[in-house]
Structure formats: C-alpha cells, structure tokens
Amino acid sequence: MKVLAPVPLRHTVSDQVNKTGLVTRPWQQFLMEMRDILNATPGKEGAVALTAQGASIVATAVPTSTLAAGLYRINYVARISTAAGTSSSLTVTLGWTVGGVACAFVGDAMVGNTTAEVQVNSFLVRIDAGTTITYATAYVSVGAPSMTYTLDVTLELLP
C-alpha cells in the first residue's frame, strides 16, 4: 500500500494560496496523492455482527445499499462461543450472483465442539449490479447446554 507523503507545512496557511487564488503546487500534489490513495482503498459496503446464535440462519442478505457490479471481498469469522454438551456442527454458506448465475461458497463444517474453534475466510467474488450477497448457517447441537456461536461478515468493494 502506498504511504502518503508528509503534509507540506513549511509555510503558514496564508502562504499556501498563491497570487491567483489557487493552492500552491506542493499542496496540489499532496491533495491529488491523497485522492489517489483513497480511491485505491477498498470501501466497506456492508457488515453483519451476530452473537449468541443458537439456531440455523436461512439465507439472509448482508445489509447494504444497492450494490454496483464489480469485484468484492467477502470476509467472515465464525466462532463457537458455547460448546454443546455432547456434539455440534456449524457450517457457513455465502451466496452471490454473477452473470445471472447463483453461486455459493460453503465453508467446512465446524465439528470440534470447543470454544476455541474458529473459522476465518476471505475471498473475492464478482457480482452483478443490484444483486445481494447472502449468508446462511446450518446448525446442529446435541446435549445440554446447546451450542451457541458468533458470526461476523463484512463486504468490501474493491477498486
């Protein structure tokens, strides 16, 4: 990632505007560089932060404004927060549409049944304009107490 040059503060603020009323060249360069860096930074488009979940979740859209067609990064982390008395399983599914075709990513089933069990993933998808990115979980818990889990999903538009 490109690092922004230091702010050109060699002169007082009144010296930063030249006789034509325009910002001086060092400030122009600094501001254009800042614009370029910001334009190259992924923009967060949506996020979900769920805690104390104790059931399956049907396919649910990540809350966003209307998405433009393009390349997106989907990040998620799922964690068992309470282990089940006997056994448990949690599977995360993410869905999107590209070229009019519904696509899905299905994570490995989390079957370790410990609170140290975490699944983290990040991947790129290209989506059609106006479609949604969805998340879902498949949950099984045997014995008391019941398994609970957390799920965080973020969606970033890439430049």
The span from the CA of 41 to the CA of 3, in Å, is 12
Are 14 and 58 within one domain? no
Please tell me the pTM assigned to this model: 0.75
Are 37 and 53 within one domain? no
Are 33 and 110 within one domain? no
Domain with 65 in it: 43-157
Token digits of residue 99: 């070229």
Stated as kind and residue range, the H or E segment containing 32 is helix 25-39
Are 25 and 65 within one domain? no
Are 27 and 79 within one domain? no
Number of domains in the chain: 2
Largest Cα–Cα distance of the chain, in whole Å?
A: 78
In total, the chain counts a number of residues equal to 159
pLDDT tens-digit profile, the chain (159 residues):
566 677 766 655 556 565 666 767 777 777 777 776 666 555 667 899 999 999 999 999 998 867 889 999 999 999 999 999 999 999 999 999 999 999 999 999 999 999 999 999 999 999 999 899 999 999 999 999 999 999 999 999 887
Structural contact between residues 95 and 136, judged by C-beta atoms closer than 8 angstroms:
yes
